[in-house]
């Protein structure tokens, strides 16, 4: 399925930026290889995604559904930009928010089976226009399963926005409606993406180092 929103494609040979060019928390300096997507670039891209979403879904009341925990930062920033558009343009849309927490893995392996372990009853989404906000699509299995789960509650429309989509041979071919960045098959952290709950407090999206993987291993 082709994405209706073009995205920034980061090539396999992208080297990233040296850590000492940016403000990195001291406790993470040895745990990261490179800054991959600087915070400012994330924010600019998110602003554009907000505009594209308004253009596509702007005739409707939207329920923005945040997939926790990794999606919370992108969700908050995206909604801030949509609220700014509501204030400053001719077209504005009423928006309500909801949260869902999923479990889709055993240790570090995705099972492809998802359990909803937090959030409201999905029946509140019946007849609504739903925008699912996700931090990263890896294989796409979790999102496909979530979409089929939502379908049972008959929402009027469902669109998905993901900050990142990973280029991986493990992909089932799922592509969201709106994509921020397409990234190579590397383990990235920061901007609320975690490694065993660490690195959520990092502004930039970075590639974790082997030292970091060992230090924060569960």
Please give the helix or strand (H or E) that residue 148 lies within, else none.
Answer: helix 141-151
- Domain ranges in the chain? 8-215
Q: Which among 138, 177, 185, 201 is annotated as catalytic?
A: 138
pLDDT score for 114: 67
- Mean pLDDT taken over the chain: 87
* Cβ within 8 Å of residue 182, ≥6 positions away: 7, 8, 9, 10, 164, 165, 166, 167
Cα distance between residue 168 and residue 69, in whole Å: 22
Backbone angles phi, psi at 201, to 5 degrees: -90, 25
Mean pLDDT of 139-166: 91
Q: Is the pLDDT of residue 108 over 50?
A: no
Assess whether 138 carries a catalytic annotation.
yes
Q: Is the pLDDT of residue 133 over 60?
A: yes
pTM of the model: 0.88
CA angle 127/130/133 to nearest 5° reads 160
pLDDT score for 187: 87
Mean pLDDT of 106-130: 69
Percent over 70 (pLDDT), the chain = 90
Of 43-47, 68-72, 100-104, give the lowest mean pLDDT range. Answer: 100-104
Q: What is the pLDDT of residues 157-214, one digit of tens each?
A: 999 999 999 998 988 889 999 999 999 998 899 998 888 888 989 999 999 999 999 9
Residue 188: beta bridge partners?
A: 207
SS (H, E, C) 178-210: EEEEEECCCCEEECCECECCECCCCCCEEEECH
Please give the helix or strand (H or E) that residue 6 lies within, else none.
Answer: none
Residue range 8-215, CATH number: 3.40.50.2020
Q: Is the pLDDT of residue 110 over 60?
A: no
pLDDT score for 161: 96
Q: Are 116 and 101 in contact (CB under 8 A)?
A: yes
């Amino acid at each position: 399925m082709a994405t209706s929103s073009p995205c920034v494609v980061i090539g396999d040979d992208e080297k990233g930026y040296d850590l000492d060019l940016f403000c990195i928390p001291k406790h993470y300096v040895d745990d990261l290889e490179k800054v991959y997507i600087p915070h400012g670039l994330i924010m600019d891209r998110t602003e554009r995604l907000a505009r594209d979403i308004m253009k596509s879904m702007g005739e409707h009341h939207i329920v923005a559904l945040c997939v926790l925990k990794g999606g919370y930062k992108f969700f908050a920033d995206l909604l801030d930009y949509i609220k700014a558009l509501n204030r400053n343009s001719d077209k504005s849309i009423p928006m309500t928010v909801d949260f869902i927490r999923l479990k889709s893995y055993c240790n570090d392996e995705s099972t492809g089976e998802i359990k909803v372990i937090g959030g409201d009853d999905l029946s509140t989404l019946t007849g609504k226009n739903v925008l699912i906000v996700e931090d990263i699509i890896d294989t796409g299995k979790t999102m496909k399963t979530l979409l089929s789960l939502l379908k049972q509650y008959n929402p009027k429309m469902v669109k998905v926005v993901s900050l990142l989509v990973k280029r991986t041979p493990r992909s089932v071919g799922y592509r969201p409606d709106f994509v921020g960045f397409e990234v190579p098959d590397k383990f990235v952290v920061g901007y609320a993406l975690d490694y065993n709950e660490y690195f959520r407090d990092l502004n930039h999206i970075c590639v974790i180092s082997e030292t970091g993987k060992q230090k924060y291993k569960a």
